[in-house]
A and B are shown apart, each in its own frame.
Chain A
Amino acid sequence: MSITVVYTIVTLAVIGATAAVILYFVAQKFKVVEDPRIDDVEGSLPGANCGGCGFAGCRAFAEACVKASDLGDLNCPVGGNDTMGQVATILGLEAVAKDPRVAFIRCNGTCDHRPKTSQFDGATTCAIASSVYSGESDCQFGCLGYGDCYDACEFDAIDLRAGMGVPLVLDDKCVACGACVDACPKDLIELRKRMPKDRKVVVACRNMDKGAVAKKACSVACIGCSKCFKECPFDAITMENNLAFIDSDKCKLCRKCVPVCPTNAIIELNFPPRKVKPEVEVETNS
């Protein structure tokens, strides 16, 4: 019996040794020489592999950074300026500070504001619904509410708000990777400049129909009246296709455009409450 034990041990030991030798030579033969800085850069990245930088993942981004002679075109939106600063230090390059951004869904057409005129019954994704028709309401530009942005978000930064009809971006979780921007078939989501305390003044509408049509479809639609455009002291508002747009890089958060909007299509977020109610003014105006 003992001889069996010995045989077993010897055989296994020989197999182990042979395999070790083979592994050693194979490892030598197929060794890949890489720039060690790639590992360093990758280590300083958030490791989310979200693709927000435009590369396939953090490693691909690290490789691109190492190859680049200038970091101006490269940005990790998740890590922000801190991370890019670290990357720059590792590579001995100049970091270019960029404004942090945040995603915003430019539709306020919740079920209360936008009456349904039909019901969709198919695979519940925005992409498929939008391939069939313009949507359950008369607004062909508005949010479909099936949450393709929610599915695309790797950071749990989108709240579907079940029953409301339009999701909401959670500012504190959003890293501005842009996955939702690509996922939205209605092109509703915009990456805006992140303001102090996440304050926003934004046209929450993408309806390019004429005023009467837009207004009929949704009570908070932008009707393209240009009142906000005339009001804005900073030229931050542009008018195109019956639709106002506030450029977040130019907006100074003065909020003058908000009370003049006759349909409340412009919304202000995360501001302290106003002293004078804006609605009163609006009603007297109209």
Chain B
Amino acid sequence: MSKLLTVSPSPHVHSSDSTQKIMYRVIYAMVPALIWSVFMFGIDALRVTLIAVAACVAFEYLIQKYLMKVTPSVTDGSAIITGILLAFNVPSSLPWWIILIGAMAAMGIGKLSFGGLGSNIFNPALVGRVFLLLSFPVQMTSWPGIKMAAVDAVSTATPLALIKESVKNGIPIAKVQGLPDLTDLAIGMNAGSLGEVSALLLVLGGIYMIWKKVITWHIPVSILATVFVFSGIFWGINPEMYVNPAFHIMTGGLMLGAIFMATDMVTSPMNPKAQIIYGIGIGLITISIRMFGAYPEGISFAILIMNAVTPLLNYYIKPKRFGGQ
């Protein structure tokens, strides 16, 4: 035997899964929604996505190489996910330089300032999104009309913004003009940011990820159930002033948030019990912001707030131990 024998501690075999594979599965899961957004908003959607992905990858590479002086880890695919998610969270009409700023905030502040993949507390894409929302409120809420609609409106309000406005003015929901019906919402025939429009395709991506064991059902289901129940209570009390729960679930990026952003592995809790509490928290905060806050929708803030709670949940909520307490 020419070579030396290797000695290592057990186990001596390893599953074929790798971090890279997991990341690419997330990307595959987002492809249907991405295609639909191109279909809806035209080539602009693709432009935004490509700029965001390229910028995120480039920023990660540059910051790691020249500021942090470590070996860049862009090949793991996580920067691509952040890029796509960031693009999913902005309107298709967003100028390129704002996307660059968003990507810089996402990668620089949201991820690498904490030490890179695995160390960040907040979901990088959401950090970028909220950064842009607070810095460029006008551009971030000018929603281009959908290409498929007969009337090519320059700017439309999102369904939730319409409702917020009407509630503020005391107009009953039933009289609000221009609200899409539930079927439109499910398919994605409404205004909004790239990735939030088609609830059905997002669910499809979610099912793929659960099937491939990238995520578990706990977080998305608990968020959706909480939103449904909580908004349902209000709707039951006063259907005049509150929209029905199904509407809440299908609008304002809730699906996108519940399936793709709240489930981000790095920033979500690590055991099923804690994940359900985390999901319930996101659901409650989202609806509270939507109903009582200044913003028409609140899933981004809700996820960021619960991201901050995640270490506490990990500390206090323990998985079911074998052999009881």
A121-B6, A132-B8, A136-B4 given; name 13 further pairs at CB < 8 Å.
A118-B4, A119-B4, A119-B5, A119-B6, A119-B7, A120-B7, A120-B8, A121-B7, A122-B9, A123-B9, A131-B9, A132-B7, A132-B9
Contact count band on A: 10 to 19
Q: In the complex, which residues 226-254 of chain A have their Cβ closer than 8 Å to any Cβ of chain B?
A: none
On whether the beta carbons of A116 and B4 are closer than 8 Å, the reply is yes
A48 on the B face (CB < 8 A): no
A23 on the B face (CB < 8 A): no
**Min distance, Cβ A170 to any Cβ of chain B, angstroms:** 25
- Complex Cα distance, B8 from A136, in Å, reads 11
- Complex Cα distance, B4 from A135, in Å, reads 13
Q: In the complex, which residues 91-123 of chain A have their Cβ closer than 8 Å to any Cβ of chain B?
A: 116-123
Contact mask B1-23 → A, CB, 8 Å, 1/0?
A: 00011111100000000000000
Contact count band on B: under 10
- Complex Cα distance, B4 from A116, in Å, reads 8
On whether the beta carbons of A133 and B4 are closer than 8 Å, the reply is no
Q: Which residue of chain A has the shortest Cβ distance to B10 in the bound complex?
A: A132
Q: Which residue of chain A has the shortest Cβ distance to B3 in the bound complex?
A: A119
Q: Which residue of chain B has the shortest Cβ distance to A123 in the bound complex?
A: B9
Q: With a 10 A CB-CB cut-off, give which of A117, A119, A123, A136 has the most chain B CB atoms.
A: A119
B7 partner residues in chain A, CB cutoff 8 A: 118-121, 132-133, 136
A128 on the B face (CB < 8 A): yes
**Min distance, Cβ B301 to any Cβ of chain A, angstroms:** 28
- Complex Cα distance, B9 from A131, in Å, reads 9
**Min distance, Cβ A185 to any Cβ of chain B, angstroms:** 14
> Contacting B9 at CB < 8 Å: which of A119, A128, A136?
A128
Chain A residues within CB distance 8 Å of chain B: 116-123, 128, 131-133, 136
- Complex Cα distance, B8 from A123, in Å, reads 9
- Complex Cα distance, B6 from A116, in Å, reads 11
Q: What are 8 sample pairs from A and B whose C-beta atoms fall under 8 A apart?
A: A118-B6, A119-B4, A119-B7, A120-B6, A120-B8, A121-B7, A131-B9, A132-B8
Q: With a 10 A CB-CB cut-off, give which of B4, B6, B7, B8 has the most chain A CB atoms.
A: B7
Rank and list the top 8 A-B pairs by shortest CB-CB distance, nearest first.
A121-B8, A122-B8, A122-B9, A119-B4, A118-B5, A121-B6, A132-B9, A118-B7
A117 partner residues in chain B, CB cutoff 8 A: 4
**Min distance, Cβ A250 to any Cβ of chain B, angstroms:** 40
**Min distance, Cβ A262 to any Cβ of chain B, angstroms:** 29
- Complex Cα distance, B8 from A133, in Å, reads 9
Q: Which residue of chain B has the shortest Cβ distance to A135 in the bound complex?
A: B7
A116 partner residues in chain B, CB cutoff 8 A: 4
**Min distance, Cβ A276 to any Cβ of chain B, angstroms:** 41
Contact mask B49-85 → A, CB, 8 Å, 1/0?
A: 0000000000000000000000000000000000000
**Min distance, Cβ A141 to any Cβ of chain B, angstroms:** 17
- Complex Cα distance, B1 from A114, in Å, reads 19
**Min distance, Cβ B164 to any Cβ of chain A, angstroms:** 28
**Min distance, Cβ A208 to any Cβ of chain B, angstroms:** 22
- Complex Cα distance, B7 from A32, in Å, reads 56
- Complex Cα distance, B5 from A135, in Å, reads 12
- Complex Cα distance, B3 from A116, in Å, reads 11
**Min distance, Cβ A209 to any Cβ of chain B, angstroms:** 20
A123 partner residues in chain B, CB cutoff 8 A: 9
- Complex Cα distance, B8 from A118, in Å, reads 10
B4 partner residues in chain A, CB cutoff 8 A: 116-119, 136
**Min distance, Cβ A122 to any Cβ of chain B, angstroms:** 4
- Complex Cα distance, B8 from A128, in Å, reads 10
- Complex Cα distance, B5 from A119, in Å, reads 6
Q: Which residue of chain B has the shortest Cβ distance to A120 in the bound complex?
A: B7
**Min distance, Cβ B72 to any Cβ of chain A, angstroms:** 23
**Min distance, Cβ A137 to any Cβ of chain B, angstroms:** 10
**Min distance, Cβ A43 to any Cβ of chain B, angstroms:** 36
Q: Which residue of chain B has the shortest Cβ distance to A116 in the bound complex?
A: B4
**Min distance, Cβ B5 to any Cβ of chain A, angstroms:** 5
- Complex Cα distance, B6 from A117, in Å, reads 10
A136 partner residues in chain B, CB cutoff 8 A: 4, 7
**Min distance, Cβ A128 to any Cβ of chain B, angstroms:** 7
